Amino acid sequence: MPSPSDCRSETVRSGRSTMRCAVKGTLEMAHDITEMKFMATPEKGAVSALLLRPDGASHLLVVGHGASTNMRHATLQAIAERLADVGIATFRYNFPYMEHGKGRDSQAVCTATVRSAVAAAQQAAPGLPLLAGGHSFGGRMTTTAASESPLDGVRALVLFAFPLHQPGKPDTKRAAHLSAVGVPMLFLSGTRDALADLDLFRPVCETLGHRATLHTLDTADHGFHTLKRTRKSEEDVFVEMARVVREWACRLQ
């Protein structure tokens, strides 16, 4: 399967971009991306978003970016493209601080942005079963928002590399709010993730019972880099995550 470096974009006048991922020995695949803006909060203004909707999509996943990245980061792009390959649409968006190049927004602004993104995604791709989540910080802000009150229309949460704690400071304080989330949660976490000690994370998920599913990614770190020599599976880690998300989402009631 293609890596982020295998992909290139062509922007056309309509404001749509076509991401073409060339795979050796196969026909070139293309996914259309619609670029748009939505109002994050009245105070912070509009932010950018990217809707990638493959033909025959089964679900729509609203995806927030990591703390120091943005919606165009290679990791988020790879997640979106591999999900599109298995029929899951994605709505990537920027938090205001990254959109405007300023200091980190308050938690209240970030959780409000999550809610605004969910509403904008529903308007952009109505009719698809809705999921929400993100990579690292984006996922944590999504679970925080969902713990405060349900996200309108969201059936479940998908968390890529949930940051359970700071590097080198293992604890479970960041998981305290998860018990207040009322929908199913899928956690995709690498076995080398320095922000999610599995000896702590596994008991957290067990405590959450049927609401939490933890899928571990062999030798993956927080950015999903893997150790090719020791990784047991030959499956690309982004392909693995897309497959797991698809299978899990299709089992939801």
Within-domain flag for 193: yes
178 domain residue, yes or no: yes
- Tell whether 232 is covered by a domain: yes
Is residue 24 situated within a structural domain? Answer: no
The per-residue pLDDT for range 75-130, each reduced to its tens digit, is: 999 999 999 999 999 999 999 999 999 899 999 999 999 999 999 999 999 999 99
Q: Is residue 13 part of a domain?
A: no
194 lies in some domain: yes
Say which residue, 16 or 200, is predicted with more confidence.
Answer: 200
143-195 pLDDT per residue, tens: 999 999 999 999 999 999 999 999 999 999 999 999 999 999 999 999 999 99
**Tokens (6 digits) for 47:** 């932010």
The yes-or-no verdict on residue 44 having pLDDT over 80 is yes
Task: Please give the pLDDT value at position 20.
Answer: 42
110 found inside a domain: yes
Q: Does 52 fall in a domain?
A: yes
Alpha helices in the chain (DSSP H): 74-85, 96-100, 107-124, 137-148, 198-208, 237-251
Structural domain that includes position 204? 32-251
Total domain count, the chain = 1
CA angle 99, 85, 139 (to 5 degrees): 40
Residue 204 has pLDDT above 70, yes or no: yes
> Is pLDDT above 70 for 21?
no
CATH of the domain at 41: 3.40.50.1820
Q: What is the pLDDT of residue 102?
A: 87
Q: What is the pTM of this model?
A: 0.88
- Residue 10 pLDDT > 80: no
Residue 30: band (very low, low, confident or very high) from pLDDT cuts 50, 70, 90:
low
